Amino acid sequence: MANFHSILSECKRAVQYLEDELKTLKIGMGQECDFTMKAVDLCGEAIRTLKKFVVEIGFENQKDEIYFFKTLKPQVNSKLFFYMSVFDIQTSRPDGNIEFHLKVLKREQKSAKSFLHENREIYQYYRSGSIQLDHQYFLRGKSDLLLLAKNPLIFEDPLFSTSYDYLFSKVIANEMFLSYLGKEIHNLSYNKQNKYDNNSMPMDFDAVWTDSKIALIELVYALDSLGSINKGNIHISKLSKYLERAFNIDLGDLYHAFGDMKLRKKERTKFLDSLKNALIKRMDELDEK
């Protein structure tokens, strides 16, 4: 039988694989809903993988068991809960109705805050990095009857659940969801204030992109890769559409163009390299004056 330390390593690799797949997926998917739906599938697949390891192999000691249910499983489960909530928001979004969508987002924000308040003890336990109740919270077979009465689905599978790993995951998910909602509300409020909609730019905006399309695509991917816009919390398709409107250009098939860029044998980032060199040259010329 495999040693659980090796299985624990496999679990860590499964979690890291999920993280890598989500990053790759974010670059490759065109629509936000498509990305979120696929992210839910990936998280579900990762949970099934972890469950297989745990149920079939088991834990060598309580320390490993606590680490798994306190850290590894919530890392995946929280993302599953988060993306499910985001998908619900995305699929219920009314086209062009900023007022109604803001109302929906603020209602969800209030609900997420209420959840964290109602579970403030476990939220504080998570935020403070406490360990004194780990044996009670994150070992199987130590059921909290009061918690079970409130949330019967928590112990649906006693071989893959503890009293608090579900709540830990929900707390983390709600924290991520609140961050997402805050950014969405900020963006919508900004659009409302400036009387923009999702398909227009200010009437007096007349800048035109005069370099090549592939140059702008390089810039789009560079900004997305570095997380320069909204701290990375904007899908690349939305970013590209914004720049298309801003610079009066049609970028065409963004993802096919990126694939061609990756196949370049030399100068994979030709425009970005030229951009850097042009700025350095300008600085050098000013230094000489």
Distance CA 59, CA 82 (A): 28
Task: Say yes or no to pLDDT of 149 above 80.
Answer: no
Distance CA 115, CA 119 (A): 6
pLDDT band at 262 (very low <50, low <70, confident <90, very high): confident
- For the chain, what are the domain ranges? 4-193, 213-288
Task: Say yes or no to pLDDT of 65 above 70.
Answer: yes
Task: Check: CB of residue 268 under 8 Å from CB of residue 218.
Answer: no
Task: Say yes or no to pLDDT of 3 above 70.
Answer: no
pLDDT in tens, 9-24: 889 999 999 999 998 8
pLDDT band at 197 (very low <50, low <70, confident <90, very high): very low
pLDDT band at 196 (very low <50, low <70, confident <90, very high): very low
For residues 144 and 210, the model is more confident at 210
Task: Compute, in degrees rounded to 10, the torsion defined by CA atoms 15, 155, 138, 79.
Answer: 30
